[in-house]
Amino acid sequence: MPIAKIAALGSTRKMLGFSRQTLEFEGATIADLLRQLPTRDGGSLYDSLVCDGKLRSDFAIVVDGLSLKAGELDKELRGGEEIVTLAIIRSLAGG
Protein backbone atom coordinates (compact mmCIF):
# COMPACT_ATOMS: atom_id res chain seq x y z
CA MET A 1 0.00 0.00 0.00
CA PRO A 2 1.27 3.51 -0.79
CA ILE A 3 2.24 5.94 1.95
CA ALA A 4 1.54 9.68 1.75
CA LYS A 5 2.64 12.56 3.99
CA ILE A 6 -0.40 14.76 4.63
CA ALA A 7 -0.24 18.39 5.73
CA ALA A 8 -3.63 19.92 6.54
CA LEU A 9 -3.75 23.71 6.73
CA GLY A 10 -6.46 26.12 7.85
CA SER A 11 -9.99 24.76 7.78
CA THR A 12 -8.90 21.35 6.49
CA ARG A 13 -6.81 21.01 9.67
CA LYS A 14 -9.95 21.70 11.70
CA MET A 15 -11.93 19.18 9.63
CA LEU A 16 -9.35 16.42 10.12
CA GLY A 17 -8.13 17.22 13.61
CA PHE A 18 -4.44 17.12 12.71
CA SER A 19 -1.89 19.28 10.93
CA ARG A 20 0.61 16.59 9.81
CA GLN A 21 0.34 12.85 9.47
CA THR A 22 1.90 10.02 7.50
CA LEU A 23 -0.76 7.66 6.21
CA GLU A 24 -0.74 4.28 4.52
CA PHE A 25 -3.79 4.03 2.27
CA GLU A 26 -5.53 1.66 -0.10
CA GLY A 27 -5.93 2.62 -3.74
CA ALA A 28 -3.75 4.66 -5.99
CA THR A 29 -5.30 8.09 -6.58
CA ILE A 30 -5.80 11.38 -4.77
CA ALA A 31 -9.54 10.61 -4.63
CA ASP A 32 -8.81 7.23 -2.97
CA LEU A 33 -6.67 8.96 -0.36
CA LEU A 34 -9.27 11.68 0.35
CA ARG A 35 -11.97 9.03 0.84
CA GLN A 36 -9.84 7.41 3.56
CA LEU A 37 -9.24 10.60 5.55
CA PRO A 38 -12.02 10.74 8.17
CA THR A 39 -13.26 14.15 9.26
CA ARG A 40 -14.41 15.05 12.75
CA ASP A 41 -18.05 15.17 11.59
CA GLY A 42 -17.99 11.49 10.62
CA GLY A 43 -17.59 11.97 6.87
CA SER A 44 -14.45 11.92 4.76
CA LEU A 45 -12.29 14.70 3.41
CA TYR A 46 -13.50 13.69 -0.05
CA ASP A 47 -17.09 14.47 1.03
CA SER A 48 -16.03 17.92 2.23
CA LEU A 49 -13.74 18.96 -0.63
CA VAL A 50 -15.34 17.40 -3.71
CA CYS A 51 -18.54 18.30 -5.56
CA ASP A 52 -19.71 16.47 -8.70
CA GLY A 53 -16.40 14.59 -8.87
CA LYS A 54 -14.28 17.77 -8.93
CA LEU A 55 -12.34 19.64 -6.29
CA ARG A 56 -14.40 22.56 -4.98
CA SER A 57 -13.07 25.96 -6.05
CA ASP A 58 -12.63 27.12 -2.45
CA PHE A 59 -10.08 24.37 -1.67
CA ALA A 60 -6.67 23.44 -3.03
CA ILE A 61 -4.61 20.27 -3.00
CA VAL A 62 -0.88 20.47 -3.63
CA VAL A 63 1.10 17.31 -4.45
CA ASP A 64 4.87 17.63 -4.14
CA GLY A 65 4.63 21.38 -4.69
CA LEU A 66 2.28 21.26 -7.70
CA SER A 67 -1.31 22.43 -7.34
CA LEU A 68 -3.95 20.06 -8.71
CA LYS A 69 -6.61 21.28 -11.08
CA ALA A 70 -10.24 20.64 -10.12
CA GLY A 71 -10.57 17.58 -12.38
CA GLU A 72 -7.28 15.89 -11.46
CA LEU A 73 -8.48 13.84 -8.49
CA ASP A 74 -7.72 10.67 -10.44
CA LYS A 75 -4.00 11.54 -10.40
CA GLU A 76 -2.00 8.41 -9.57
CA LEU A 77 0.13 8.35 -6.43
CA ARG A 78 3.29 6.24 -6.33
CA GLY A 79 3.84 6.60 -2.59
CA GLY A 80 5.98 8.99 -0.58
CA GLU A 81 4.33 12.14 -1.94
CA GLU A 82 3.77 15.16 0.27
CA ILE A 83 0.16 16.28 -0.02
CA VAL A 84 -1.06 19.61 1.33
CA THR A 85 -4.76 20.41 1.69
CA LEU A 86 -5.98 23.94 2.33
CA ALA A 87 -8.87 26.32 1.93
CA ILE A 88 -8.46 29.20 -0.50
CA ILE A 89 -9.34 32.59 0.88
CA ARG A 90 -10.60 34.86 -1.80
CA SER A 91 -10.46 38.58 -1.21
CA LEU A 92 -13.55 40.57 -1.95
CA ALA A 93 -13.29 43.98 -3.51
CA GLY A 94 -15.61 46.60 -2.22
CA GLY A 95 -15.91 50.03 -0.92
93 pLDDT tier (thresholds 50, 70, 90): low
DSSP notation for 7-69: EE-THHHHHHT-SEEEEE-SSSBHHHHHHTSB-TTSSBHHHHHEETTEE-TTEEEEETTEEPP
Domain residue spans in the chain?
3-87
Fold of 3-87: Ubiquitin-like (UB roll) (3.10.20)
Q: What is the pLDDT of residues 19-56, one digit of tens each?
A: 999 999 888 899 999 999 999 999 999 999 999 999 99
Model confidence, pTM: 0.88
Report the distance separating Cα 8 and Cα 69, nearest Å: 18
